[in-house]
Amino acid sequence: MRPDLFEAPDYYNLDDLLSEEHKLVRDAARQWVKRDISPIIEEYAQKAEFPKQILNGLSEIGAFGPYIPEEYGGAGLDQISYGLIMQEIERGDSGVRSTASVQSSLVMYPIFSYGTEEQRKKYLPKLAAGELMGCFGLTEPDHGSNPGGMTTNFKDKGDHYLLNGAKLWISNSPFADLAVVWAKNEEGRIHGLIVERDMEGFSTPETHNKWSLRASATGELIFDNVKVPKENLLPGKNGLGAPLGCLDSARYGIAWGAIGAAMDCYDTALRYAKERVQFGKPIASFQLQQKKLAEMITEITKAQLLAFRLGQLKNEGKATTAQISMAKRNNVDMAITIAREARQILGGMGITGEYSIMRHMMNLESVITYEGTHDIHLLITGADVTGIPAFQ
Amino acid sequence: MKILVCISNVPDTTSKINFTEDDTKFDTNGVQFVINPNDEFGLTRAMWFKEKQGATIHVVSVGEVSVEPTLRKALAIGADEAIRINTIPTDGLFVAQQLAEVVKNGQYDLIIAGRESIDYNGGMVPGILATLLDINFINTCIGLEIEGDAVTAIREIDGGKETLATTLPLVVGGQKGLVEESELRIPNMRGIMMARKKVLNVVEPTDSIRGTEDAKFEKPAPKGAVKLVDSDKIEELIDLLHNEAKVI
Ligand SMILES: Cc1cc2nc3c(=O)[nH]c(=O)nc-3n(C[C@H](O)[C@H](O)[C@H](O)COP(=O)(O)OP(=O)(O)OC[C@H]3O[C@@H](n4cnc5c(N)ncnc54)[C@H](O)[C@@H]3O)c2cc1C
């Protein structure tokens, strides 16, 4: 892959709205991505392998639970810092950002928000340090967009729970040390359970041959009469709202992350268009290419403002699920559109792994699908503005 | 050992350079500022002395409040305390006089500045500072070892290197070689969190001479179009050089 020459676009001087600490955190993540991700990511994506050596670095830049309070090993940062870290990581690769999102929002967040004090103390510091890695099991083979229909279940056996069922499409599952698993009790109520790798009857086969998020490991979670200690149940919240609360946090991070992928595609295409000469002129001098580039920077700027405002709302504890859906949907769609257009600006060069664009483009196919598909988020907005849910 | 690292806040090298107010002021709009690279090599070497020999590091910058993010970054990398001298740094003599005051008050054993800043490339500050303090000075320093008061330093000279023995207190004009680029540090989250609690002292400037002031900035003329002449048409090339470029 080519040297990473990335320069972040900031058309509306959004930096002026950020605090000194926001910029310090963002720039550290940006530098780290340039130094430790860009030089290796193409190779790992091609090999379809997760680069495990970056876990320590992710922890060092605060990618694991940045908004978790310091007493539990987090960095105690605000939501805008969290968003900026996700943006920078996804600028490198959506798969790496997925690993960080899962660890922060889908593993640390539920343990922090719904867990007991013992669970927080036991797991959070090690998760923040990247010494323990987690995954999040909600989706099942027969229940994706409709997680409420899940069949994974547990029975109360007196001194333990007995867990049965299967989860599919689980990021980080092949190497995770623990899984936050959503399953129904005997009354059909959804609860979260912490399942540890060495529990008997628990296995995590890897899902191979993905064309997307190739540098992120995805797999199944299979529970065959797994005995889960009672103290591993997250008691703080139950019902579908519990996993959806985690998704709110992760989707918020994705709304920022997608901007990173889009910025990288735009920046690459802009540089290429100014250097590539056809018909005796740089291709950037043709109106058709300018239209693409001008629309890209317009959409990126809008997405940045959307994410920033959502970050303020999140900091104030006021962001609604529907507001988060709108930003996730808009920003991921913006990014995937930009990736496709940017790839065309590079012509044949855009097809190779020399440049990051096609990797981003393929990665974003997963991002537009997971954490609620593009359609489902539209239905959430639709239900919010009309008051009439149209899911069923 | 008490180390003072002098830090200049400079525009990132990829910044677009523009001027305002009738070309008398640098336009900072949209410009990213960073730690002057030569100073960053010095700070990184200072971190080595901190970690291996228990040194204390203070960082200082002459500048208005806009330089604080750069100082905060130095604190996040690991400096113990920061000082900002609250005035606009106009020229090398002025800056050196301000820094000399901080050194006198702080009793530093080692003062590391950059060989030059990458914005104005003046390269005067460390030399003037050493003169004002009347202490040893090693410029273009690419290697620095300290045992007690004894210093072994390597200096880059034309076509080679020179190894020097000297003693503390000392002013160093540092550059790449003090550490390598790969050793430069990215502030980690722990460092950023600790930096929140570290002291950033703002001190008022002392009365010193401002040697110069900016009268006008000009950008170099834009590069003209390139004319390519076939290698077998030497006559044409000579003609163009004579009659069009008028250089021979
Ligand atoms: C790489 C990757 C990583 C993932 N990581 C995780 C993870 O870590 N943990 C986890 O739990 N899950 C994870 N997922 C799963 C992901 O969240 C689901 O794939 C997603 O929710 C969609 O579910 P599905 O694949 O079953 O599709 P389906 O729900 O079957 O949807 C298929 C299509 O039907 C549409 N559709 C469904 N319902 C409706 C409706 N009511 N109205 C209109 N259209 C509808 C959808 O929009 C979609 O276009 C991951 C997925 C991928 C690809």
Cβ-based contacts of B12 with chain A (< 8 Å): none
Tell me if B233 is assigned to some domain.
Answer: no
Write the single-letter amino acid at A283: I
pLDDT confidence of residue B218: 93
pLDDT confidence of residue B228: 85
CATH of the domain at B67: 3.40.50.620
Shortest CA distance from A65: residue in chain B? B189
Given a cut of 90, is residue B247 above it in pLDDT?
no
Judgement on whether residues A39 and A24 belong to the same structural domain of the protein: yes
Write the single-letter amino acid at B168: L
Tell me if B235 is assigned to some domain.
Answer: no
CATH of the domain at A46: 1.10.540.10
Active-site residue, selected from the candidate residues A220, A299, A341, A371: A371
Terminal Cα-to-Cα distance of chain B (whole angstroms): 60
- d(CA B72, CA A20) in angstroms, rounded, equals 8
Residue B4: strand, helix, or coil: strand
Tell me if A391 is assigned to some domain.
Answer: no
pLDDT confidence of residue B231: 87
Tell me if A359 is assigned to some domain.
Answer: yes
Nearest-5° Cα angle at A68, A62 to A29:
15
Tell me if B28 is assigned to some domain.
Answer: yes
Mean pLDDT confidence for B113-141: 95
Higher pLDDT, A268 or B220: A268
The binding-site residues of ligand 1, defined as CB within 6 angstroms of any ligand atom, are: A 102, 135-139, 144-145, 169-171, 213, 218, 366, 369-371, 373, 375-376, 379, 391
Mean pLDDT confidence for B211-215: 85
Q: Do A20 and B72 touch (CB under 8 A)?
A: yes
pLDDT confidence of residue B193: 93
Tell me if A7 is assigned to some domain.
Answer: no
Shortest CA distance from A20: residue in chain B? B69
Whether the CB of A34 is below 8 Å from some CB of chain B: the reply is no
Q: Do A60 and B188 touch (CB under 8 A)?
A: yes
Domain interval for residue A330: 241-386
- d(CA A324, CA A306) in angstroms, rounded, equals 10
Residue A280: strand, helix, or coil: coil
Tell me if B238 is assigned to some domain.
Answer: no
Tell me if A6 is assigned to some domain.
Answer: no
**Which residue bears the tokens 């001479």?**
B209
Tell me if B140 is assigned to some domain.
Answer: yes
Q: Do B192 and A7 touch (CB under 8 A)?
A: no
Shortest CA distance from A13: residue in chain B? B30
Judgement on whether residues A312 and A264 belong to the same structural domain of the protein: yes
pLDDT confidence of residue B227: 83
Q: What ligand 1 atom has the least distance to the C-alpha of A391?
A: 41
Ligand 1 centroid from CA A29, angstroms: 30
- Residues B41-80, buried b or exposed e (16+ Cβ, 10 A)? bbbbbbbebbeeeebbbbbbbbbeeebbbbbbbbbbbbbb
- d(CA A117, CA A59) in angstroms, rounded, equals 22
Tell me if A9 is assigned to some domain.
Answer: no
Considering only the beta carbons, identify the residue of B14, B68, B192 that sits closest to A28.
Answer: B192
Judgement on whether residues A272 and A370 belong to the same structural domain of the protein: yes
Tell me if B18 is assigned to some domain.
Answer: yes
Judgement on whether residues A62 and A123 belong to the same structural domain of the protein: yes
Tell me if B104 is assigned to some domain.
Answer: yes
Judgement on whether residues A29 and A65 belong to the same structural domain of the protein: yes
Q: Do A24 and B72 touch (CB under 8 A)?
A: yes
Q: Do B192 and A75 touch (CB under 8 A)?
A: yes
End residue of a domain, out of A83, A107, A128? A128
Mean pLDDT confidence for B47-60: 97
Shortest CA distance from A64: residue in chain B? B189
| DSSP assigned state of B240 | I
CA B225 to mean position of chain CA atoms: 35
Q: Do B193 and A21 touch (CB under 8 A)?
A: no
Nearest-CA residue for atom 43 of ligand 1: A375
CATH of the domain at A191: 2.40.110.10
Whether the CB of A100 is below 8 Å from some CB of chain B: the reply is no
Residue B107: strand, helix, or coil: coil
Judgement on whether residues A255 and A369 belong to the same structural domain of the protein: yes
Mean pLDDT of chain B: 94
Judgement on whether residues A113 and A143 belong to the same structural domain of the protein: no
Report residue B26: phi and psi, to 5°. Answer: -75, 135
Judgement on whether residues A379 and A301 belong to the same structural domain of the protein: yes
Judgement on whether residues A265 and A365 belong to the same structural domain of the protein: yes
Environment class of residue B105 by beta-carbon count within 10 Å: exposed (0-12), middle (13-18) or buried (19+)?
A: exposed
**Over chain A (392 residues), what is each successive 10-residue block's mean pLDDT?**
91 94 96 97 97 97 95 95 98 98 98 98 97 98 97 97 98 98 98 98 97 98 98 97 96 98 98 97 97 98 98 98 98 98 97 96 98 97 97 90
Q: A160 - beta bridge partners?
A: A229
Cβ-based contacts of B14 with chain A (< 8 Å): 7
pLDDT confidence of residue B13: 86
Active site residue A371: yes
- d(CA A56, CA A184) in angstroms, rounded, equals 35
- The answer to whether the CB of A161 falls within 8 A of the CB of A105 is no
End residue of a domain, out of A234, A267, A282? A234
pLDDT confidence of residue B248: 84
Would you list the DSSP string of A137-203? E--BTTBSS-GGG---EEEE-SSEEEEEEEEEEEETTTT-SEEEEEEE-TTS-EEEEEEETTSTTEE
If one counts the domains in chain A, the total is: 3
Judgement on whether residues A196 and A310 belong to the same structural domain of the protein: no
pLDDT confidence of residue B159: 92
Tell me if A4 is assigned to some domain.
Answer: no
Tell me if A8 is assigned to some domain.
Answer: no
Sign of the four-CA dihedral A12, A13, A18, A21? positive
Q: What ligand 1 atom has the least distance to the C-alpha of A392?
A: 41
Residue closest to B73 by CA, chosen among B219, B196, B217? B196
Would you list the DSSP string of A50-70? --GGGHHHHHHTT-SSTTS-G
In a mutational test of the pocket of ligand 1, which residue from A90, A103, A169, A392 has the highest number of ligand atoms less than 8 Å from its CB? A169
Whether the CB of A62 is below 8 Å from some CB of chain B: the reply is yes
- Model ipTM over 0.95: no
Tell me if B99 is assigned to some domain.
Answer: yes
Say how many C-beta atoms besides its own lie within 10 A of residue B129's C-beta: 25
pLDDT confidence of residue B211: 79
Taking one residue from A and the other from B, the number of pairs with CB-CB distance under 8 angstroms is 47
Residue B51: strand, helix, or coil: helix
Judgement on whether residues A175 and A252 belong to the same structural domain of the protein: no
Confidence label for B29 from pLDDT (cuts 50, 70 and 90): confident
If one counts the domains in chain B, the total is: 1
Question: Model pTM?
Answer: 0.93
pLDDT confidence of residue A187: 97
Judgement on whether residues A83 and A108 belong to the same structural domain of the protein: yes
Residue closest to A99 by CA, chosen among A108, B145, B32? A108
Mean pLDDT confidence for B131-157: 96
Tell me if A156 is assigned to some domain.
Answer: yes
Domain interval for residue B206: 2-219
